[in-house]
Chain A
Amino acid sequence: MASNEEILAGLAEIVNSETGLDEADVQLDKSFTEDLDIDSISMMTIVVEAEEKFEVKIPDEEVKNLKTVGDAVNFIAGAQA
């Protein structure tokens, strides 16, 4: 099971490969849409890749609640448990 730090690092890697953003910019308090300028198609790609990487399920209805990177890290950590 991945720690929160490992989940953050893994998400940063996925965001970087999808958008080109620096991994260092992917911080817990950053909003996917406001701060990282991630559109809905990119967000869905990130979700699908995160599901595969962390072996979790992130239901579509949950995605709209993942406003910040921290929300996503917490959800994935919880889903792993």
Chain B
Amino acid sequence: MMARKVVITGLGATTPIGGDVPTLWENALKGVSGAATMEDSWVEEYDLPVTFAARASVQPSEVLTRPETKRMDPSTQFAVVAAREAWADSGLSKDDVDRNKLAVAFATGIGGVWTLLNAWDTLKEKGPRRVLPMTVPMLMPNGPAAAVSLDLGAAGGAHTPVSACASGTEAMHVGMELIRAGKADVVMVGGAEAAIHPMPIAAFSSMHALSRRNDDPAKASRPYDVDRDGFVMGEGAGALVLESEEHALARGARIYAELAGSSVTADAYHITAPDPEGLGATRALKAAMYDGRIQPEDVVHVNAHATSTPVGDKPEYTALKAALGDQLDNVLVSATKSQMGHLLGASGAVESVLTTLAIYHRKAPVTINLDNQDPEIPLNVVTGAPADLPAEGSIVALNNSFGFGGHNAVVAIRSI
């Protein structure tokens, strides 16, 4: 039996370069930076080695009610904002779908780190009585998935893929499997992260993962550039409504694209370093293409993981070369973390939103700060202005995400 076809019918996002999808897309085509010096007193207080980040351009407190922001960790707030936009964008109403066939797969890399650390401060300073009773449901990593499920009345299961920076793309994979298996007709998938807090910044700094270009934050995230020196911490969420094609057609939904294939693999090589040969990533790429019955010549665009770390960018090129061969010369690559920084567990979801729009509009977004391309990474990177993808025929784009722990997740998105 043919597996059920999965399509994308709704998009939502809140990011450093746009608090909703139209603004995100407009800026992604323009090429802007969401990074800026942090104004928080704790930057100086703790003498942090990195003094900038890419904050969400619209904070959830501007959109949600006071009780909502009070009872949800910032990561969950981002999730709810993005999921509400995606739901509205899909045109679904609660009557359109059996709540038992409506599921959620919402990822996070770190979870409720603000809540956890604030509660710890409160315990130390004021004692156990002052630790608020909502602390546990706010800090748990399934908080975003649970809040989205509650918000939508989604009773068909709420999953939380956690695989560091691959989490958001793994959520796409989980959602797709649920629909293919017939366990759900509609799945709200996504990823959320809110880790611009002094502790994670100190921790990522101590492993030298973050750029230290403190004097010029907008130029700090520079994937593939010879002067790249680390990633820029971002925050926000992305959300996509996945739906069985049958269900979408029956309600006359606007379909952005098909989620044609997906795959998750593990390097089993090193806890943080990518396999220098990119073997795990290659297997993920090949498996996602096989899953979607995709040939290398079908692929015209890649939204790369490309975090701008010295060691991370090259193995992805090696893997793309191994999976796509000579076709890679014809593939337009966008490294959108150059604009919005690295949203960790949300990055794969936001980048899946961008990849979907790239296919839908047949346009690849811009990579900024690529002044001097690393000769060891000879990719066709889209710079300066957005690039047109082939106007006719079926086209496919890939979105890669890799995470500490050796996690690799790839999705393949095909035009309708």
Shortest CB-to-CB span from B399 to chain A, Å, is 38
> Would A18 and B133 count as touching, CB distance under 8 A?
no
- When the two chains form the complex, which single residue of B65, B126, B133 contacts A45, counting CB atoms closer than 8 Å? B133
Q: Mark B64-107, 1 if CB is under 8 A from A, else 0.
A: 01111011000000000000000000000000000000000000
Shortest CB-to-CB span from B45 to chain A, Å, is 23
Shortest CB-to-CB span from B133 to chain A, Å, is 4
Write out the residue numbers on chain B whose beta carbons fall within 8 Å of the beta carbon of A19.
Answer: 67
Bound together, the chains give a CA A45 to CA B67 distance in angstroms of 12
> Would A17 and B133 count as touching, CB distance under 8 A?
no
Interface residues of A, dominant DSSP: helix
> Would B70 and A18 count as touching, CB distance under 8 A?
yes
Write out the residue numbers on chain B whose beta carbons fall within 8 Å of the beta carbon of A16.
Answer: 66
- When the two chains form the complex, which single residue of B70, B71, B129, B134 contacts A51, counting CB atoms closer than 8 Å? B129
Bound together, the chains give a CA A52 to CA B127 distance in angstroms of 12
> Would B70 and A48 count as touching, CB distance under 8 A?
no
Write out the residue numbers on chain B whose beta carbons fall within 8 Å of the beta carbon of A52.
Answer: 126, 130
> Would B66 and A20 count as touching, CB distance under 8 A?
yes
- A20: nearest residue on chain B (CB-CB)? B67
- B126: nearest residue on chain A (CB-CB)? A52
Write out the residue numbers on chain B whose beta carbons fall within 8 Å of the beta carbon of A18.
Answer: 67, 70-71
Write out the residue numbers on chain B whose beta carbons fall within 8 Å of the beta carbon of A51.
Answer: 129
- When the two chains form the complex, which single residue of B65, B68, B71, B132 contacts A48, counting CB atoms closer than 8 Å? B132
Q: Mark A12-28, 1 if CB is under 8 A from B, else 0.
A: 00001111100000000
Write out the residue numbers on chain A whose beta carbons fall within 8 Å of the beta carbon of B133.
Answer: 41, 44-45, 48
Write out the residue numbers on chain A whose beta carbons fall within 8 Å of the beta carbon of B67.
Answer: 17-20
Shortest CB-to-CB span from B212 to chain A, Å, is 39
Query: How big is chain A's contact interface, by range?
Result: 10 to 19
Q: Mark B324-355, 1 if CB is under 8 A from A, else 0.
A: 00000000000000000000000000000000
Bound together, the chains give a CA A77 to CA B66 distance in angstroms of 28
> Would B129 and A17 count as touching, CB distance under 8 A?
no
Bound together, the chains give a CA A74 to CA B65 distance in angstroms of 30
Bound together, the chains give a CA A19 to CA B68 distance in angstroms of 8
Write out the residue numbers on chain A whose beta carbons fall within 8 Å of the beta carbon of B130.
Answer: 48, 52
Write out the residue numbers on chain B whose beta carbons fall within 8 Å of the beta carbon of A41.
Answer: 133-134
> Would B65 and A20 count as touching, CB distance under 8 A?
yes
Shortest CB-to-CB span from A37 to chain B, Å, is 12
- B68: nearest residue on chain A (CB-CB)? A20
Those of A34-69 within 8 Å (CB) of chain B: 41, 44-45, 48, 51-52
Q: Mark B128-161, 1 if CB is under 8 A from A, else 0.
A: 0110111000000000000000000000000000
Shortest CB-to-CB span from A58 to chain B, Å, is 10
Write out the residue numbers on chain B whose beta carbons fall within 8 Å of the beta carbon of A48.
Answer: 129-130, 132-133
Shortest CB-to-CB span from A11 to chain B, Å, is 15
- A21: nearest residue on chain B (CB-CB)? B67
Shortest CB-to-CB span from B283 to chain A, Å, is 46
Shortest CB-to-CB span from A32 to chain B, Å, is 15
- B131: nearest residue on chain A (CB-CB)? A48
Bound together, the chains give a CA A81 to CA B71 distance in angstroms of 33
Write out the residue numbers on chain A whose beta carbons fall within 8 Å of the beta carbon of B129.
Answer: 48, 51
Write out the residue numbers on chain A whose beta carbons fall within 8 Å of the beta carbon of B66.
Answer: 16-17, 20
Bound together, the chains give a CA A45 to CA B65 distance in angstroms of 17
Bound together, the chains give a CA A20 to CA B68 distance in angstroms of 9
Max chain A CB contacts within 10 Å: which of B67, B126, B130?
A: B67
- A43: nearest residue on chain B (CB-CB)? B133
Write out the residue numbers on chain A whose beta carbons fall within 8 Å of the beta carbon of B132.
Answer: 45, 48
- A44: nearest residue on chain B (CB-CB)? B133
Shortest CB-to-CB span from B137 to chain A, Å, is 8
Shortest CB-to-CB span from B70 to chain A, Å, is 6
Bound together, the chains give a CA A38 to CA B129 distance in angstroms of 20
Bound together, the chains give a CA A39 to CA B133 distance in angstroms of 12
Write out the residue numbers on chain A whose beta carbons fall within 8 Å of the beta carbon of B126.
Answer: 52
Q: Mark B112-137, 1 if CB is under 8 A from A, else 0.
A: 00000000000000100110111000
Write out the residue numbers on chain A whose beta carbons fall within 8 Å of the beta carbon of B68.
Answer: 20
Bound together, the chains give a CA A44 to CA B128 distance in angstroms of 13
Shortest CB-to-CB span from A25 to chain B, Å, is 14
Give 4 new A-B contacts, CB below 8 A, not counting A17-B66, A18-B70, A20-B65: A16-B66, A19-B67, A20-B66, A48-B133
Q: Report 19 cross-chain contacts, Cβ distance below 8 Å, ordered by A residue.
A: A16-B66, A17-B66, A17-B67, A17-B70, A18-B67, A18-B70, A20-B65, A20-B68, A41-B133, A41-B134, A44-B133, A45-B132, A45-B133, A48-B129, A48-B130, A48-B132, A51-B129, A52-B126, A52-B130
Closest CB pairs A-B (n = 3): A20-B67, A44-B133, A41-B133
